[in-house]
Structure 1
Amino acid sequence: MSNNSIPLDVAAAEDHLMRFLSVEGVTGQEANIAAAVSDALKKVGVPESAMRFDDANKRIPLPTETGNLIVDLPGTRPGPRLLFSTHLDTVPLCAGAKPRREGDRIVSDGTTALGGDARTGVAVLVVVAETLLKNKLPHPPITLLFTVREESGLHGARELNPADLGGAVMCINVDGQMASDLIIGAVGQENWEAEITGRASHAGVAPEKGISATMVGALALAEARRAGWFGKVVKSDGRGTSNVGIFGGKDNKPAGDATNVVTDYAFIKGEARSPESAFATKIAKGYEEAFTKAQREVTDDAGGTAELKFSHVTSYPPFELGKDTPIVQRATKALKALGIEPVLVFSNGGLDANWLDKHGVPTITIGSGQAEIHTIKEYVNLAEFEKGCRIGVLMATLDD
C-alpha cells in the first residue's frame, strides 16, 4: 500500500484531533478524555464490548481517576497481534486549552500549552481504527492502549499487566514530533531524595548551637558538582545526566521560614538518567556520598551533625532495540513505502516504550506532529500529523 492508496479521511482525522485537544485531562485526571475516546471509537464502529479499563490506577501511588483504556480489534487476516499505544494525559500547563487552527498548524490561545503531547497520538489511534473498519482493510489482531499518568512518571505503563495485551508481539507507540524519527531506545531514570534534619537555634544569639540543614544541602550539591555528578555526567565507566529539581521544606513549604532561625529541615529531590541502569544508580549514589560528606562537615558547638535520610529508586528502565528487530524493520518498511527516510533516534527522555519493552513487547515510538511541547508556544504540525496517521494505518496493514 502506497501513500496515495491509503484511504485516509484527512478532514475527519483533523476533526478528531481538534475534539481531543479541547477535552481537559491533565495527568491523573483522565476520566473525561477517556470517555471522549471511548465515544469516538463507538461512533466509528468499535463495539463497546471491545473496550475495557484495567485497574492500574489502583496500583499507582498517586490519585488517578481511571485505569488504562484497552481496546481489542479482532484480526481480519492471520498474523501476530500488534499493539498501538499512546497516553491520555497532558501536563498541567494544558488545563483549559483552547485549540484553534492557524494555517497548517493547530495552536492554543497563548495562555496555556496545547496538549498535542500526546493528543496527536490519541487521534492517530482512533484514526487507525476508523480507517481499518470503514474501508474493511485486512489486518492482524490489534490492541489499542491508551495509558494514564505518563506525564507524571510513566505510571500507567509501569503498572500495566502484560497479560492484558493479548499476546502482542510488537508495539507502535505514538508520542513524538517528526514522522521520520523512529525512537528505538531511551535512557532509564533513577529518582533520589534527601531529607536533612538539623537543629534550630537563634541565628543571632547562638548560631553555634544550631545545625543548618540548608548549609548541609548546599555543600552537598556543591560537592556533587565538584565530583562530576551534576548535569552532563561523563565517567570512564559510563555517561548520563542528573538534575536537582526541588530544594524546599515540609509540605511544599520553603526550607526555613525566617532569617533569624538556623534552618532545621530541608528536602531535596533530583534525578539521574543513563543508557545503562547501573550507571544511573551510580550517579544517585554519587549524590548520596556528597550528602554524607556534607553531613559530617556541618556541626554544632558540641560536634553534633544533622540527621540524613537518603533514598533512590528506579523510575523507569532504559532500553534499546537493534536495527534488525522485527518492529524496527516493520516501521522502516512503512516509512520507506511512504517515501520517508527513517531516522533512528535514541531518546534522552523516558517514554511509555521503556516500560512496554520491559513488559516484553518491543516498542518503537513514532511522531505525529507535536511540537514545542510543555510550553505555551506548543503547536501541532498538521502535515506531520497526517503522516503519522498514514504510518499508523500502513503499520497496521503491512504483510508480515
Structure 2
Amino acid sequence: MINKDRAIKMFCELVQIDSVSLNEKGVASFLKSYFTNLGYEVYEDQVSVQKVPQANSGNIVVKIPGTGAYVNHDPIILEAHMDTVEPGNGVKPSVTEDGKYVVSDGTTILGADDKAGIAQIIEVEAVLREHDFSHPPLELLFTISEEIGILGAFNIDTNLVTGKTAYVLDGGGGPGTAIIGGPDFYDITGRIIGRASHAGAAPDKGISSIQVMSDAISKMRLLKVDEDTTTNIGRVICDYPTNVVPEVTTFEMEVRSLVPEKAQAQVKHVVDTLQASADSFGAKLEIEVGQSLHAYHLDDSLAIIQNYKAMCERHNLTYNGMVVRGGTDVSGLTFNGINAICLAAGGEFAHELKERLIIDEFVANTQQVLWLVTEIDA
C-alpha cells in the first residue's frame, strides 16, 4: 500500500531543504506550495509568527476534509516538526548499497529527525487520495523550532488547529512504539559576581567568582538525582588572565523530572545552593529560571491510547508505551489541551553525523499511520 520508492524520494528531497531551527522558511514554502497545488486549505499560523519572532516562518497547517463514512468524524492531527539541529545545512543524502538505509555524506546530520515524519504525512495523504479511502478530517501540522524548546507546538493557534487527538511522528523504533510521557524541563542560567583584584598583590581583597561557583557545585545534587530526576551543568565560563581574581562567572544548567513536584524541589535546591555559596563569600548571584517543557503521562484509559492499542492488536504489533526524559512536540500539544502520542518515524542516531533512516522501519511506521486514520471504528 505504501509506495516505498516515492516516500524515500520525497524524504531525500526534504532533507536537502535547509531548515535549521529558526530558519524553516524553505520547508514551509515547499509544504505550502505542495498542498495548495493539491487543492487543500493551507495556513501559516500567525500566532506562532508573533510569539517566535526570531523565526523566519510560522507553523504550517493543512486542512484535509473527511471522506466517506468518516466525513463528520472529529478531526485527527498528524504532526511533525520542520526544523533540524546543526550541522543541518547542505545535506547530501544517499541510499546505502544494501538498500537498508538513507545516510548523509558524514559532514552533516541527515535530518530524519524530523523530515522522516514529514515524509510519512505526505505519503499517507498520497495513499488516501489514490485509493479513495474513507478517513476523518485531517489537520496536518508542521511546527517550527522543536529542537530549541518546542516553540512551535507551545505557541500554536488553537483556533486554527481544532482537533483534540494528535499523532506526532518523531520517535525512534518500529511500529507499536509510542511515547506517552515526558518530563518537566527547566533551564537555569545566571552569573556569579565577585570582586576583581590583583591575584598576586592583593588576592585577599578580591572575591573569586569561580571559587564561589565551585563551592556551589561541590554541594549540589547533580546528574541522576533520583529515578525521576536529573540535573546537569552544561557550561561554566570564567575567562580572565591568571593575575586577576575573576569577577564574573556565568553558567548554564538544566533540571528534568518526570514528577513536577520533584522538578520544583530540585530547582529550589539548585538556586538555594548557589545563593548560599554567594552569600558565604560576599558575592552576588543573578539567576534566571525558565520552564520549556511540562511533564505529562497519558493514562491508558484515554481514547487515543486505546485506539492505538487496538490498531496494534489488529495488526499483530507489540504495543510499547514509553515514558522518556527527552522533549517532543507532544509536550506542547498536551499543554494546549490536545491528547497526543509520539510514534516512531524510522530514524536512528538523531543529532549525530551518523544519523540514518532505516528504510524498512520508515515504511512500516508509515503504514501504521495509514491504519490509524482509516480504521477509526474497526
Q: Aligned partners of 2:223 and 2:240: how far apart in 1?
A: 29
Deviation at 1:353, TM superposition (A): 0.2
Whether 1:291 and 2:274 are equivalent positions in the alignment is yes
User: What SS does the corresponding residue of 1:221 show, helix, strand or coil?
Assistant: helix
Output the CA distance in 2 between the equivalents of 1:133 and 1:239.
Answer: 45
**2:230 aligns with one of 227, 241, 255:** 241
Aligned to 1:3: none
Kindly state the Cα deviation for residue 369 of structure 1 after the two structures are TM-superposed. Answer: 0.8
Question: Residue 215 of structure 1 corresponds to which residue in structure 2?
Answer: 211
Consecutive unaligned residues of structure 2, counting only runs of 5 or more, are none
SS of residue paired to 2:244: coil
Displacement of 1:152: 0.5
3-state SS of 1:257 partner: coil
1:368/1:389 contact within 8 Å kept:
yes
**Structure 1 position 33, deviation (Å):** 1.2
1:380 and 1:64, CA in 2 relative to 1: closer, same or farther beyond 3 A? Answer: same
The SS at the match of 2:224 is: strand
What CA distance in whole angstroms lies between the structure 2 residues aligned with 1:163 and 1:247?
A: 42
Q: State the alpha-carbon separation in 2 of the partners of residues 270 and 194 from structure 1.
A: 9
Alignment partners' CA distance in 1, 2:194 and 2:283: 4
- Residue 349 of structure 1 is matched in structure 2 by 326
TM-score (norm 2): 0.94
In structure 2, the residue matched to 1:251 is none
Structure 1 match to 2:169: 174
Structure 1 residue matching 2:123: 3-state secondary structure:
helix
Is it true that 1:335 corresponds to 2:312 in the alignment? yes
Does structure 2 conserve the Cα–Cα contact (< 8 Å) formed by 1:188 and 1:350?
no
Tell whether the 8 Å contact from 2:35 to 2:62 is kept in structure 1 after alignment: no
Which residue is equivalent to 1:301?
none
After superposition, what is the alpha-carbon deviation per residue over 1:47-104, rounded to whole angstroms, capped at 9, x for unaligned? 3xx11111213212x6101110011111112211101111000001222221111121
In structure 1, what is the equivalent of residue 294 of structure 2? 317
Aligned AA (1:232): K
Partner of 1:15: 9
- Output the amino acid matched with 1:341: T
Does the aligned pair in 2 maintain the 1:93–1:375 contact within 8 Å? no
* Aligned residue identity for 2:154: R
In the alignment, what sits opposite 1:306?
283
Show CA shifts across 1:265-319 (max 9, x none). 1111111111122221211111111111211332xxxxxx111112312111010
Q: Which residue of 1 aligns with 2:188?
A: 192
After superposition, the CA RMSD in angstroms is 1.4
Distance in 1 between residues matched to 2:311 and 2:167, nearest whole Å: 12
Q: Tell me if structure 2 keeps the 8 A contact 1:368–1:387.
A: no
CA distance in 2, matches of 1:334, 1:35: 34
Distance 1:230 1:46 in 2: 54
Deviation at 1:42, TM superposition (A): 4.1
Is the counterpart of residue 124 in structure 1 residue 120 in structure 2?
yes
Report what 2:43 is aligned to. Answer: 52
Distance (Å, rounded) in 2 between the aligned partners of 1:329 and 1:382: 28
Long gaps (5+) in structure 1: 1-6, 249-254, 299-304
Q: 2:63, 2:347 → 1: CA distance? A: 26
**How far off its partner does 1:394 sit?**
1.1
- Structure 1 residue identity aligned to 2:231: S
Is it true that 1:393 corresponds to 2:376 in the alignment?
Answer: no
User: Is 1:99 aligned to residue 88 of structure 2?
Assistant: no
Distance 1:122 1:89 in 2: 11
> In structure 2, which of residues 149, 153, 157 is the aligned counterpart of residue 157 of structure 1?
153
| Distance of aligned partners of 1:65 and 1:283 in 2 relative to their CA distance in 1, 3 Å threshold | same
Q: Work out whether residues 19 and 27 of structure 2, in 8 Å CA contact, stay in contact via their aligned partners in 1.
A: yes
Q: Name the residue aligned to 2:246.
A: 263
Query: What TM-score, normalized to structure 1?
Result: 0.89
Deviations 1:142-174 (A, max 9, x none): 1010000000010111111222212x1211000
Q: Is the 8 A contact 1:177 1:384 kept in 2?
A: no
1:75 aligned residue (39, 49, 66): 66
Cα distance between partner residues in 2 of 1:353 and 1:369: 18
Q: How does 1:225-236 map to 2 (within 5 A)?
A: 229-234=221-226
Question: 2:54 — aligned with what?
Answer: 63
CA contact (8 A) 2:35 2:42 kept: no
How many residue pairs get aligned? The number is 370
| 1:171 alignment partner AA | A
